[in-house]
Amino acid sequence: MEIPALKKEIVDLINKRGKITFADFMELALYHPEHGYYTSGKEKIGKKGDYYTSSDVHPVFGELIARQLEQMWRLMGKGRFTVVEMGAGKGRFCYDIINFIKKKFPEFFEEVDYKIVEISQNLIERQSSTLKGLEDKVSWESLSEDGFSFEPVIGSFLSNEFVDSLPVHQVVVENNCLKEIYVTIKDDKFCEVIDDLSDPALEDYFAKSKISLKEGQRAEVNLKVLDWVKNISRYLKRGFVITIDYGYLAEDLYSEQRHRGTLMCYYEHTTSENPYERVGSQDITSHVNFSSLMEAGSRCGLSTTGFTRQSRFLIALGILDKMNKVQGDIGKLLTIKNLFLPGGMGDVFKVLIQHKGVANPELIGLRSMSEPGLVRGIEGLENEDTL
């Protein structure tokens, strides 16, 4: 269901400018202060929402991330450790991480504090309810053009399905020239027009990655994420950045296989490629260019620690051991398997870890799959017909 008040604001902006970039359209559709998809009170995550995230599938996801955070803390010599989560949904991820740390790593629990960066007041209220009793560990912060609302930290920035929801520009190659896709209005309906680029950074974006799109190929460009990486580097004195999302390296993301781009909309667990319907009531996302995150990070002091599929990351952190502990519960086993089975979340989602001020960290989540214990676990999984 489209939100009339939001459509009117977008139409008014189009009438004022003549046309707007797709990035401007997506920004308003998702983040309008009152009517945006992420700022409204609409149920978004879970059975009654539009999609599931890994942290909502099973608590083991947060528990395994907690294990990785604890090792990071030890590698850095212990002491105060701040976790900054970008966009925390219902707060389940934070809840699972903190409670597992409290249960399994009491010394780490005494040193950790958790900051949630959230723009939606509705979600802050939901998170506060979920995290009741943990107020001494959790605080809510903001991010503006001037930066984060807290002082630089030692610890880890953490995001799970955050980058994919940042507004993107859409471009297309027309007559061997890179053009931009704009949004305008015709007969009271949103429609697209193609024109010159709104920002020279769009052409630079592909030049830096040495990517050449084919004639007629559409693609998304996330310029917002470049500023986000800069801010993270500014506010991370020493520590790590963990980015979990769906996407590819540049050569795969912009291959001919994805000739129409990767833009996708989610509404009540159905997918669509039309962002101009149900404006304000459906999620709009695009796949992440992890190469751009690495390149942007290297330019501002963040080194790439490792990049891997979610399946490998979770196996290295011990998800197979977790499964062994619930062997008698078929429901839990099948639920946990959703997080890392080939062809599903385990392959679609990737994990990028970057570091700053830490010398050559060797993280358990990035262990080689050639280690004997991990190989046996994977072989056993692959040979199973069912659980």
Residue-wise pLDDT tens digits, 63-103: 999 999 999 999 999 999 999 999 999 999 999 999 999 99
Tokens describing residue 75? 């590698």
End-to-end distance of the chain based on CA atoms, in angstroms?
40
- Within 10 angstroms of residue 344's Cβ, the number of other Cβ atoms is 14
Pick from 64, 51, 66, 63: which is nearest to 165 by CA?
Answer: 51
pLDDT for residue 326 is more than 90 = no
Pick from 205, 334, 280: which is nearest to 2 by CA?
Answer: 280
Question: What b/e sequence results for 84-106 when a residue is b if at least 16 CB atoms lie within 10 Å of its CB, and e otherwise?
Answer: bbbbbbbbbbbbbbbbbbbeebe
CA distance 101 to 276: 43
pLDDT at 387: 27
**Largest Cα–Cα separation, the chain:** 64
pLDDT at 255: 95
Surface-to-core class of residue 384, CB atoms within 10 Å of its CB (0-12 exposed, 13-18 middle, 19+ buried):
exposed
Nearest-10 crossing angle of helices 372-382, 310-317: 120
pLDDT at 147: 94
CA distance 40 to 23: 19
- CATH-assigned architecture of domain 4-382: 3-Layer(aba) Sandwich (3.40)
pLDDT at 204: 94
pLDDT for residue 191 is more than 80 = yes
CA distance 218 to 179: 10
Higher pLDDT, 161 or 41: 161
pLDDT at 369: 63
What is the enclosing helix (H) or strand (E) of 346? helix 345-348
CA distance 363 to 127: 29
Confidence bin at 295 (pLDDT 50/70/90)? very high
pLDDT for residue 41 is more than 80 = no
- Identify the bridge partners of residue 244 per DSSP, sorted by sequence position: 160, 351
| Reported pTM | 0.92
Within 8 A by CB and 6+ apart from 238, the residues are 76, 154, 356, 357, 358
Across the chain, where does the E strand assignment appear?
20-21, 81-86, 112-117, 138-141, 143-144, 147-148, 153-160, 169-174, 177-186, 189-195, 218-221, 236-248, 264-267, 270-272, 283-285, 288-289, 303-309, 349-356
Read off the pLDDT of each residue in 318-340 and give the average, rounded to a whole number: 77
Q: Which residue in this structure is represented by tokens 């960066």?
A: 117
Confidence bin at 329 (pLDDT 50/70/90)? low
pLDDT for residue 45 is more than 50 = yes
Dihedral sign for Cα 37, 247, 200, 215, please.
Answer: negative
DSSP structural state of residue 161 = S
Mean pLDDT value across the chain: 91
Show me where the domains of the chain are located. Answer: 4-382
pLDDT at 371: 61
Tokens describing residue 370? 């050639």
